[in-house]
Amino acid sequence: MPFDDESSLVELVAWRSGWEAEFRALAAELASHLGGAALAIDHVGSTAVPGLPAKDVIDVQVRVATLDERVLDAALEGLGFRARPEPWNRLEAIDGTEFPKRVYAPPPGGRPANVHVRPSATPTARYALLFRDYLRADATARDDWASLKLAVAAVTSDLGEYGRIKSAAMPLLMASAERWAAATAWKPARA
């Protein structure tokens, strides 16, 4: 983690019902500063899946029509959010194809969160929603993913290593999620 006020250690906690209210408050704050630039603001990641242990960090996805860094930086920096300098702040890949994104950290001392800004039409925006919705719908998949997360956290407390190990297992989880999406005719929420 590049910011002094952030921990680089993994600490998973049991799912908390209060995370949803914290997301809604953060989403309202973001919407008030992003205005029409935000097509949708989604609660994503493990804190968005009831019953799934997670780091106590709210993951937010802001879907936009186009990724205008100037507009985003001005709006989010006006709230004290900081653009993350790590390589994953600018690009992410699915099946070897890279897609643009921006990730912002909260102001120093603010509620731990990652604000992922993605163009709405990209597969990566869909991926975040599919991950959440699949684990919400399939208790076995959720419990298996929870077991994996807990096992990884038991062997490493380093956030980077934890993320790399978990990322290696994501294609397996998401292949099951894609089968579920096809079987249920799942579509991502409209932006």
If one compares 7 and 84, the residue with the highest pLDDT of the two is: 84
pLDDT at 139 over 70: yes
Res 87: pLDDT: 77
Cα distance between residue 152 and residue 155, in whole Å: 5
**For the segment 64-121, what is each residue's pLDDT rounded down to a tens digit?**
999 999 999 999 999 999 998 887 788 998 888 999 999 999 999 899 999 999 999 9
Res 9: pLDDT: 82
Res 22: pLDDT: 97
Res 85: pLDDT: 85
**One-letter amino acid identity for 119?**
P
pLDDT at 191 over 70: no
Q: Where are the domains of the chain?
A: 12-184
Res 1: pLDDT: 52
Q: Which of 15-29, 46-60, 84-98 has the lowest mean pLDDT?
A: 84-98
DSSP secondary structure string for all residues of the chain: --STTS--B--EE---THHHHHHHHHHHHHHHHHGGG-SEEEEESGGGSTT--EES-EEEEEEESS--HHHHHHHHHTTT-EE--SGGGTEEEETTEEEE-EEEEPPTTSPPEEEEEEETTSHHHHHHHHHHHHHHH-HHHHHHHHHHHHHHHHH--BHHHHHHHHHHHHHHHHHHHHHHHHHHT--PPP-
Give the chain's mean pLDDT. Answer: 93
pTM as predicted: 0.93
The label of the residue with tokens 């208790």 reads 139
> What length does the chain have?
191
Token output for 6: 């952030």
Domain 12-184: which CATH class?
A: alpha beta
What backbone phi and psi angles, to 5 degrees, belong to 82?
-120, 130
**For the segment 173-186, what is each residue's pLDDT rounded down to a tens digit?**
999 999 999 999 99
Mean per-residue pLDDT for 41-63?
97
Orientation angle between helical segments 123-137 and 139-155, nearest 10 degrees:
100
